[in-house]
């Protein structure tokens, strides 16, 4: 779709609100890093290998994560942790072994043909979408692969699930990188493995953040898929046709992390857990909202209203998360969206301050009141009365699929 056509798109006015069952399935969207001052990348730096690109590093770029693997081994030692439900993990393992999407990610000639038709600013937007998505999936692959390796002796069942999830993430990353080849580009994933900085998260924070990442990925993918199915005139690139089955991988991963948290009730059943749960919900929701509002052209290019899409995804993710987190944000309170929109305005001012021609000292002085205003909005959103939720006692939690 040409850039001029983007002004003619008609944003959709409503989304399907059906909710997956507790065993059913969010881009990444992505692994989440909290920030508010970056802008989308527009310049590529050369990679170590000719013909490949390296995504520009910004504070909103998907991160690579590492954790305390020794603590992970202790958490999943069945002799130490009596809360581990081995039958539940066995059932999950069988579902992952089935590998429903083994033959799903098969490309065809539509990809290159569609990419050649995307020109102008919209082409760069799609490249960035593929870059960021590929990086996010690859970061999941690295983390899950290492967890699978480290837990092999302590808990072979959980270790194998992590290994199978790394299989899924590698498949997604490879598929997205193939998409970049349609635009005559490719990410050097081997170089990324060595060159990128890794962010350390304690195991419980890995659980919170990754659960939210997988579930919000489900809701992003399925919402885009349903919208484009109803509005095929915006199907400008065939990768979106794969989102229906793709999002089931995200959902299964999220369900596994839900089971992991159930096996660690200390992460769910006290006042500190409620505070952390709200913090990670806010971090993920705000990061997505700010990120996407910097990239409205992408969503407009596929016929979506960015803020409407994001609020739908946030609300549905929050409802899903309320099944396991001890407390969630009251995102359906209109005041929450008003705070998000105010953060977007402040973030835009921060970006403008950074892009100005002032000397660094003046730029920093201009940023100070803006950063304070953003922090104030974040704190106010965090302190809004939460929704008490969650339970570690589910009547039924058996593998099911939504197709």
User: Which residues fall within 8 angstroms of residue 41, CB to CB, at 6 or more apart?
Assistant: 55, 56, 58, 61, 128, 131
Instruction: Please answer whether residues 237 and 126 qualify as being in contact, where contact means their C-beta atoms are separated by less than 8 angstroms.
Output: yes
251/249 Cα distance (integer angstroms):
5
For residue 268, what pLDDT is reported? 94
Angle between the N-to-C axes of helices 243-262 and 86-98, in degrees from 0 to 180, rounded to the nearest 10: 160
What is the reported pLDDT for 143?
Answer: 94
- For the entire predicted model, the pTM comes to 0.82
At residue 215, the pLDDT reads 97
Tokens of 228: 């484009």
Q: What pLDDT sits at residue 19?
A: 43
63 CB neighbour count, 10 Å cutoff:
19
pLDDT of 356: 85
* Residues whose CB falls within 8 Å of the CB of residue 397, separated by 6 or more in sequence, listed in order: 22, 23, 88, 259, 262
- Is the CB of residue 291 less than 8 Å from the CB of residue 41? no
Question: What residue ranges of the chain have pLDDT lower than 70?
Answer: 1-62, 391-403
Q: What is the pLDDT of residue 61?
A: 56
């Amino acid at each position: 779709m040409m850039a001029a056509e983007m002004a003619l798109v008609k944003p959709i006015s409503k989304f399907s609100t059906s909710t997956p069952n507790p065993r059913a399935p969010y881009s990444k969207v992505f692994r989440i890093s909290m920030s508010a001052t970056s802008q989308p990348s527009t310049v590529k730096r050369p990679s170590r290998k000719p013909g490949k690109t390296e995504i520009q590093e910004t504070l909103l770029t998907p991160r690579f994560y590492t954790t305390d693997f020794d603590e992970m081994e202790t958490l999943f030692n069945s002799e130490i942790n009596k809360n581990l439900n081995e039958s539940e993990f066995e059932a999950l393992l069988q579902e992952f072994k089935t590998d429903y999407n083994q033959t799903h990610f098969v490309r065809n000639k539509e990809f290159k043909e569609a990419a050649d038709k995307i020109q102008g600013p919209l082409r760069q937007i799609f490249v960035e979408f593929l870059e960021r998505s590929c990086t996010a999936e690859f970061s999941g692959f690295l983390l899950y692969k290492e967890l699978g390796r480290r837990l092999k002796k302590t808990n072979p069942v959980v270790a194998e699930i992590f290994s199978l999830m790394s299989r899924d993430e590698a498949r997604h990353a490879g598929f997205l990188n193939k998409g970049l080849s349609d635009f005559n580009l490719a990410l050097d994933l081997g170089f990324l493995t060595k060159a990128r900085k890794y962010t350390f998260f304690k195991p419980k924070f890995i659980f919170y953040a990754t659960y939210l990442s997988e579930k919000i990925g489900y809701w992003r993918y399925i919402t885009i898929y349903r919208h484009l199915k109803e509005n095929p005139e915006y199907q400008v690139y065939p990768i979106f046709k794969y989102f229906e089955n793709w999002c089931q991988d995200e959902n299964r991963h999220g369900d596994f992390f839900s089971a992991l948290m159930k096996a660690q009730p200390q992460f769910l059943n006290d006042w500190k857990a409620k505070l952390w749960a709200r913090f990670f919900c806010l971090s993920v929701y705000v990061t997505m909202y700010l990120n996407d509002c910097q990239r409205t052209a992408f969503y407009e290019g596929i016929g979506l209203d960015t803020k409407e899409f994001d609020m739908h995804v946030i609300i549905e993710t929050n409802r899903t998360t309320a099944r396991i987190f001890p407390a969630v944000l009251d995102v359906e309170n209109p005041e929450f969206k008003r705070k998000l929109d105010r953060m977007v305005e402040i973030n835009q001012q921060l970006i403008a301050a950074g892009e100005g021609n002032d000397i660094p000292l003046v730029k920093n002085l201009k940023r100070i009141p803006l950063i304070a205003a953003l922090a104030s909005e974040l704190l106010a959103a965090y302190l809004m009365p939460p929704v008490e939720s969650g339970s570690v006692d589910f009547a039924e939690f058996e593998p099911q699929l939504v197709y």
